Amino acid sequence: MSTVAEIFETMEYGPAPESDKEALSWLAKHERVFGHYINGAWTEPGKLFDVVNPATNKTIARVTDGTADDVDAAVKAARAALPAWKALAPHARARHLYALARGVQKHARLLAVLESMDNGKSIRETRDIDVPLVARHFYHHAGWAQLLDTEFEGYEAIGVVGQIIPWNFPLLMLAWKIAPALAGGNTLVLKPAEFTPLTALCFAEIAHEAGIPPGVINIVNGHGETGAAIVNHPEVDKIAFTGSTEVGRIIRKATAGSGKKLSLELGGKSPFIVYDDADLDSVVEGVVDAIWFNQGQVCCAGSRLLVQEGVADKLVAKLRSRMEKLRLGSPLDKAVDMGAIVAPVQLDRIRGLVQQGVNEGATMWQPSWACPTDGCFYPPTLFTDVQPSSTIAQVEIFGPVLVTMTFRTPEESVALANNTPYGLAASVWTESINLALDIAPKLKAGVVWVNSTNLFDAAAGFGGYRESGFGREGGREGMWEYVKRIPPNTSRAAAKASDVHRSSPIADRQSPAATRPSPLPAIDRTPKLFIGGKQARPDQGYTRRILSPSGAVVGEAPEGNRKDIRNAVEAAHAAAGKWARATGHNRGQILYYVAENLAVREQEFAKRIDAMTGCGPRRAKQEVDASISRLFTYAAWADKYDGAVHSVPIRGVAIAMNEPIGVMGIVCPDEFPLLGMISLVAPAIATGNTTVVVPSSPYPLAATDFYSILETSDVPAGVVNIVTGDKDPLAKVLAEHDDLEAIWYFGARDGVKAVELASASNMKRTWATWHDRSWLDLGDGEGREFLRAATHVKNVWVPYGE
């Protein structure tokens, strides 16, 4: 035993272990063997796999590996429980969620210790971060449950939700998934990660005690195959996944064309940007939280340190001395900063990537103290002299490894930060508020932390751009992932549609063009495409004849091909930055101008629509009138689609900004050749996107006639590009295009499937549907649903004060 004098001399920490007694007795109560939790009861254990404590490499329990039959039983239980759960009064569901929050708090210590034993993360983190955030998540969503009918009017539960989560925040990811699902009135089947099943099982018991009705929450354990069985189950209506981009891509493909709603929270390689005026001591503590929190096994870990040249050496020196003082060891020791890596396979992966970094010529540095050798431990590691293109600068390491690069100017910092296929989070360090708020919108990331890092809260949305996935978790924006619009009942929709334009003359005679001589000359224009603000000759000279229902030639439209789409995407990219930065007022003015110019040519457009479709003059006029009104709608929205300031529990704000997605492909419905196109293009450009549009294939002439309206309405070149031709082949080219950030497709189910499959190449956001829409109806044809689909929410966290 050391004397006080000796301790005073060395300043050594003594051991401060958290007791594992309660966790051990919970495991003993279950004889350390678990079945699944299905329909409110434990199943008999089946084929078992080991649950290992990575800090000791000892097996602490055995858990059942879920089969396809287990998944089926769980989905059936969830399906059976759905009607009653969905029909509960919002207040009743709110009470259930509240009870879950209380249950988590009551068992906070047990959950924290169990999580540390199962995952290897430090008790300091599970006790002070993970478990409190879990309780907070259930409280916050008890609130959304209470407010569901008023705040999400016209929306309802999606149905049975399948949820698959990773091992890095086992209980927290469970809460992020379960709380909004239940608040929205859904029932669910959740699969924890195979490395970390225990806290989910403990949570099942807490939910059971709290009186959650049988079948509402089902927990099935297992490996990737069990997850795949959930993904592929025909009675699952939505999949929510957090994990690797690789598996996210598999799930995107597996659900293509199934109609399942999908949200994906995937990997990242998030930049941590330090400008030369930053407070370097705060930066050092920020880095500790960014990359050594949870041993760097964090999807939004600040794993790329980008430092302005002038302060780089100073910062690296400070970091090294701080790293010497980090404490690594038993996760249950309350004075430990870093615990164990989750499993040997992850440890090997980290070692392999670090070795690759050394081989590729970067300089590796680790503190002088020795790591424990009896568990899965890895020391904090710092790389300097890193090339931006090297493996360690590009690949998600998911370990305590930081790579450092330098930049000279703010522009260079943005380019370097965005030089990644990912787009999850970013951290910006500067004492200049001007600089911070100039940089934040320029970063391709779903979350930006100003002078802070790894801040999370249930009230603020979290989620990525690009290969980091799509969808948000948390806050109002996260709730949208768990509700769907109640489709207008068709008779109601039809009634509403006739309300839209009361001033339309009532001509009830249906007079299809087929019965009248066409007033238009047969071929009156040279058909072209519209690319980069100009009427452009198609790559190949082919055209298609557009016939009236009676077979008369109405006109011709060019057959666009792959090359034309590529040119159009290029033009849309060239226009993207400037259009995104245009003010809402400015974009609104341009949309009003388009509407004005269309109104001048109303009769001409109506005739053309009637000639192509044979819908009759009354319907054709109604379509043009509705198109003008729709342009007004989005001109109105252009400066009104506000973001939010979320009430997060810090001294500061989280600003939720609606941002354009970027360059979007828009494949229009066949029907309503003008209104269908305007209903999609107007919200996309009103929110600052640029577009490549494939108009109605059978009736493209409303679009080709529209070129001249775009030309005379101050729409900047490249904001709207139109390529006519065969819908599905063109849609496929768009969906496969790596420089396109989103695609909307309105067509047949096979086309939906092809688009969703091909979109997996760069994980672009999709909105693809084969369901009919009443384009004339105001509820179905326009509004916030379209604006949401055209935007990302970026949360910028700005703490106040010194």
- Give dist(CA 388, CA 405) in Å, integer: 7
Closest to ligand NAI by CB, 251 vs 386, is 251
Closest distance of CB 170 from ligand NAI, Å:
10
Closest distance of CB 126 from ligand NAI, Å:
17
Compute how many other C-beta atoms are within 10 angstroms of the C-beta atom of residue 596: 15
Closest distance of CB 266 from ligand NAI, Å:
5
Counting contacts by CB under 6 A, is residue 193 touching ligand NAI? yes
Among 194, 467, 556, 559, binds ligand NAI (CB under 6 A): 194
Binding segment for ligand NAI among 190-198, 287-295, 428-436, 500-508 (CB under 6 A)?
Answer: 190-198
Counting contacts by CB under 6 A, is residue 790 touching ligand NAI? no
Catalytic residues: 265, 299
- Give dist(CA 348, CA 346) in Å, integer: 5
Closest to ligand NAI by CB, 167 vs 637, is 167
- Give dist(CA 118, CA 168) in Å, integer: 10
Closest distance of CB 107 from ligand NAI, Å:
23
Residues 336-355 that bind ligand NAI (CB under 6 A): 346, 349
Closest distance of CB 530 from ligand NAI, Å:
40
Greatest CA separation for the chain: 108
Closest to ligand NAI by CB, 139 vs 241, is 241
Closest to ligand NAI by CB, 49 vs 593, is 49
Residues 97-126 that bind ligand NAI (CB under 6 A): none
Closest to ligand NAI by CB, 226 vs 691, is 226
Size of the site for ligand NAI (CB under 6 A): 26
Residues 626-665 that bind ligand NAI (CB under 6 A): none
Closest to ligand NAI by CB, 116 vs 543, is 116
Among 93, 141, 191, 261, binds ligand NAI (CB under 6 A): 191
Do 707 and 693 touch, CB atoms closer than 8 A? no
Residue with tokens 């990811």: 173
Closest distance of CB 242 from ligand NAI, Å:
5
Closest distance of CB 655 from ligand NAI, Å:
24
Among 266, 554, 663, 731, binds ligand NAI (CB under 6 A): 266
- Give dist(CA 786, CA 435) in Å, integer: 32
Query: By Cβ distance, which residue is nearest to ligand NAI?
Result: 227
Helix (H), strand (E), coil (C) string for 596-643: HHHHHCHHHHHHHHHHHHCCCHHHHHHHHHHHHHHHHHHHHHCCCCCC
Counting contacts by CB under 6 A, is residue 267 touching ligand NAI? yes
- Give dist(CA 565, CA 567) in Å, integer: 5
Closest distance of CB 196 from ligand NAI, Å:
9
Q: What is the DSSP letter of 515?
A: G
**Contact track, ligand NAI, 291-320, x by CB under 6 A:** --------x---------------------
Closest to ligand NAI by CB, 255 vs 330, is 255
Counting contacts by CB under 6 A, is residue 484 touching ligand NAI? no
Do 603 and 696 touch, CB atoms closer than 8 A? no
Among 103, 120, 227, 527, binds ligand NAI (CB under 6 A): 227
Conformation bin of residue 339: beta by default, left when phi > 0, alpha when psi is -120 to 50: beta
Binding segment for ligand NAI among 220-228, 382-390, 479-487, 550-558 (CB under 6 A)?
Answer: 220-228
CA dihedral 331, 334, 337, 341 (to 10 degrees): 10
Q: Residue 757 is encoded by which pair of tokens?
A: 């499959």
Helix H or strand E encompassing 792: strand 791-799
Let me know how long the chain is: 802
- Give dist(CA 289, CA 337) in Å, integer: 10
Q: Distances from the Cα of 538 to the Cαs of 369, 557, 561, 717, in angstroms?
A: 67, 10, 8, 17
Residues 373-402 that bind ligand NAI (CB under 6 A): 396, 398
Residues 395-454 that bind ligand NAI (CB under 6 A): 396, 398
Closest distance of CB 71 from ligand NAI, Å:
11
Residue with tokens 């070692």: 351
Q: What is the DSSP letter of 740?
A: -
Task: For residue 364, list its beta bridge partners.
Answer: 383
Closest to ligand NAI by CB, 236 vs 715, is 236
H helices of 57-130, in order, are: 68-87, 90-106, 108-119, 123-125
Closest distance of CB 173 from ligand NAI, Å:
8
Closest to ligand NAI by CB, 164 vs 778, is 164
Do 444 and 343 touch, CB atoms closer than 8 A? no
Nearest Cα residue to 560 out of 759, 695, 707 = 695
Residue partners of 188: CB distance under 8 A and separation at least 6:
78, 160, 161, 162, 163, 177, 178, 181, 182, 216, 217, 218
Q: Distances from the Cα of 562 to the Cαs of 67, 669, 730, in angstroms?
A: 44, 20, 7
Helix H or strand E encompassing 144: helix 131-151
Angle at alpha carbon of residue 78, lines to 73 and 84, rounded to 5°: 140
Binding segment for ligand NAI among 7-15, 31-39, 158-166, 584-592 (CB under 6 A)?
Answer: 158-166
Closest distance of CB 298 from ligand NAI, Å:
7
Closest to ligand NAI by CB, 445 vs 787, is 445
CA 181 to chain CA centroid, Å, is 16
Closest to ligand NAI by CB, 252 vs 587, is 252
Binding segment for ligand NAI among 51-59, 164-172, 285-293, 689-697 (CB under 6 A)?
Answer: 164-172
Binding segment for ligand NAI among 161-169, 622-630, 706-714, 777-785 (CB under 6 A)?
Answer: 161-169
Compute how many other C-beta atoms are within 10 angstroms of the C-beta atom of residue 390: 19
Helix (H, G, I), strand (E, B) or coil at 387: coil
Among 82, 164, 216, 776, binds ligand NAI (CB under 6 A): 164
Residue partners of 125: CB distance under 8 A and separation at least 6:
293, 294, 339
- Give dist(CA 339, CA 503) in Å, integer: 71
Counting contacts by CB under 6 A, is residue 166 touching ligand NAI? yes
Closest distance of CB 251 from ligand NAI, Å:
6
**Beta strands across the sheet bearing 644-646:** 363-365, 381-384, 401-407, 302-308, 270-274, 425-429, 447-450, 791-799, 652-660, 644-646
Helix H or strand E encompassing 251: helix 245-255
Nearest Cα residue to 446 out of 475, 421, 472 = 472
Closest to ligand NAI by CB, 297 vs 629, is 297
Residues 231-260 that bind ligand NAI (CB under 6 A): 231, 242-244, 247, 250-251
Binding segment for ligand NAI among 191-199, 588-596, 718-726, 762-770 (CB under 6 A)?
Answer: 191-199
Closest distance of CB 426 from ligand NAI, Å:
15
Binding segment for ligand NAI among 227-235, 589-597, 666-674, 683-691 (CB under 6 A)?
Answer: 227-235
Closest to ligand NAI by CB, 231 vs 323, is 231
State the residues that interact with ligand NAI by CB under 6 A: 164-168, 191, 193-194, 223-224, 227-228, 231, 242-244, 247, 250-251, 266-267, 299, 346, 349, 396, 398
